[in-house]
Amino acid sequence: MIRLTLKPGREESVLRHHPWLFSGAVRAAEGDGSDGHAEVLDAKGLSLARGSYSPRSQIVSRLWTFGEEAPGPVLFRERFLAARRLREAALPEETTGYRAINSEGDLCPGVLLDLYGEVAVLELLTEGTQVWGPDLEAAALEVFSPPRLVTRMTGTERDRGDTVRAPAVSPDEGLSRAPFTENGLRFFADLSGGQKTGFYLDQRENRSRLRALARGRAVLNLFSYSGAFSVAGLAGGASRAVDVDASEAALGLAREHRRENEFAAGDEDFVRADVFEDLRRRVQSRESWDIVICDPPAFAKKKADLARAARGYKDINRLAMSLVAPGGWLLTCSCSGLVSADLFQKIVFSASLDAGLPFALVARQGAGADHPVSLDCPEGEYLKGLWLWRR
């Protein structure tokens, strides 16, 4: 265990139970952190908190407890059980794919667990939690009893600030996809890709809103990934749905999702393109859609990207807005944690001014109950979705 002593006056966020300890707050480090454990002391030597240790990250420790209790098998089991109770209380029926452990939001910073039917994917997001891997795996198996558990180690890449590419399983492990249901619809998580743990579980609530609105309407699904929004729209009676994504593999999965749910689809329903270019073409040919879904990847991954990200969000929204028919809908999303809900709404508003089109904000919808956010750590609320109605 390593003991991290804070600079005078830097204990405030720890006293408020914020789980992130930045390296700049640390005056002295003493001991060996190779077991992944850190103890945090104030400048006078009083012990304040314990957590996992990430020597290479700006967030040098993710704090799990604010007292004497040390993270370990007993605590992991307790926290996982609490997380399970929330899912049991709040998840919709016929849903076997969901996030079982949501890092800070379940007081398990650095740990994600996604369940896809019979397969659980444990993702260890920091070097410290990677070291605790065997105990975390044991807790996941005990509390959630998945027939199969795979572990995706992305902590080292993330702590170094590298782009995360590691798939959950390497292709030769013979487990490339995991079937599951969401509100009775059938999907596969792509475990051998590199996107999330294989599926965007965080959009379940928005997919179900789309399903409720879609009857008789044509849906344009931008940044579609595996086309889950389109499947939800068609389940709600959409007349047609078109997926646009840059990834051929994602579109391949999108085709399979249509087939699996028995919705007819033609080649023209899957468009491999850069969304910015595709949108410009559609705007030029004056296309009009009843519902446009715009769910891009995070444009801002670090603070230095913010200005460029804001321009990207504005451009994409201005273009998407021009395609929405009067009386139609735009669901526009941002999953950049660095772009606050307030900033995102302002960017979208300014896009509507530029487009010269009136939209009303009808609902804000982020992730569902399986992505809880701790009040101690509001940074966990990364997904913002705005449902806009074209007047």
Among 59-67, 83-91, 111-119, 225-233, the segment contacting ligand SAH (CB under 6 A): 225-233
Q: Assess 225 for contact with ligand SAH (CB under 6 A).
A: yes
Q: Assess 228 for contact with ligand SAH (CB under 6 A).
A: yes
Contact partners, residue 246, CB within 8 Å, separation at least 6: 272, 273, 274, 275
Q: Write down the least CB distance from residue 189 to ligand SAH, Å.
A: 11
* 3-state secondary structure string across the chain: CEEEEECCCCCHHHHCCCCEEEHHHEEEEEECCCCCEEEEECCCCCEEEEEEECCCCCEEEEEEECCCCCCCHHHHHHHHHHHHHHHHHHCCCCCCEEEEEEHHHHCCCCEEEEEECCEEEEEECCHHHHHCHHHHHHHHHHHHCCCEEEEEECHHHHHHCCCCCCCCCCHHHCCCEEEEEECCEEEEEECCCCCCCCCCHHHHHHHHHHHHHCCCCEEEEECCCCCHHHHHHHHCCCCEEEEEECCHHHHHHHHHHHHHCCCCCCHHHEEECCHHHHHHHHHHCCCCEEEEEECCCCCCCCHHHHHHHHHHHHHHHHHHHHCEEEEEEEEEEECCCCCCHHHHHHHHHHHHHHHCCCEEEEEECCCCCCCCCCCCCHHHCCCEEEEEEEC
| Per rule CB under 6 A, count of chain residues that contact ligand SAH | 18
Q: Nearer to ligand SAH by C-beta: 243 or 376?
A: 243
Q: Nearer to ligand SAH by C-beta: 135 or 245?
A: 245
Q: Which is catalytic among the residues 108, 294, 335, 377? A: 335
Q: Assess 69 for contact with ligand SAH (CB under 6 A).
A: no
Q: Nearer to ligand SAH by C-beta: 37 or 152?
A: 152
Q: Assess 295 for contact with ligand SAH (CB under 6 A).
A: yes
Note if 108 is an active site residue: no
Q: Nearer to ligand SAH by C-beta: 20 or 200?
A: 200
Instruction: Give the residue, chosen from 1, 246, 325, 373, that forms a contact with ligand SAH under the rule CB under 6 A.
Output: 246
Q: Which of residues 204-223 bind ligand SAH (CB under 6 A)?
A: 223
Q: Which of residues 267-286 bind ligand SAH (CB under 6 A)?
A: 274-276
Q: Assess 192 for contact with ligand SAH (CB under 6 A).
A: no
Contact partners, residue 145, CB within 8 Å, separation at least 6: none
Residue pointed to by tokens 């996982």:
80
Among 102-110, 293-301, 305-313, 361-369, the segment contacting ligand SAH (CB under 6 A): 293-301
Q: Nearer to ligand SAH by C-beta: 29 or 369?
A: 369
Among 112-120, 246-254, 345-353, 362-370, the segment contacting ligand SAH (CB under 6 A): 246-254
Q: Nearer to ligand SAH by C-beta: 22 or 276?
A: 276
Q: Assess 123 for contact with ligand SAH (CB under 6 A).
A: no
Q: Write down the least CB distance from residue 58 to ligand SAH, Å.
A: 26
CA 385 to CA 271: how far, in whole Å?
23
Instruction: Give the residue, chosen from 65, 96, 183, 247, that forms a contact with ligand SAH under the rule CB under 6 A.
Output: 247
Q: Nearer to ligand SAH by C-beta: 2 or 275?
A: 275
Instruction: Give the residue, chosen from 297, 326, 327, 358, that forms a contact with ligand SAH under the rule CB under 6 A.
Output: 297
Give contact residues for ligand SAH (rule: CB under 6 A): 200, 203, 223-226, 228-229, 245-247, 250, 274-276, 295-297
Annotated catalytic sites, by residue? 335
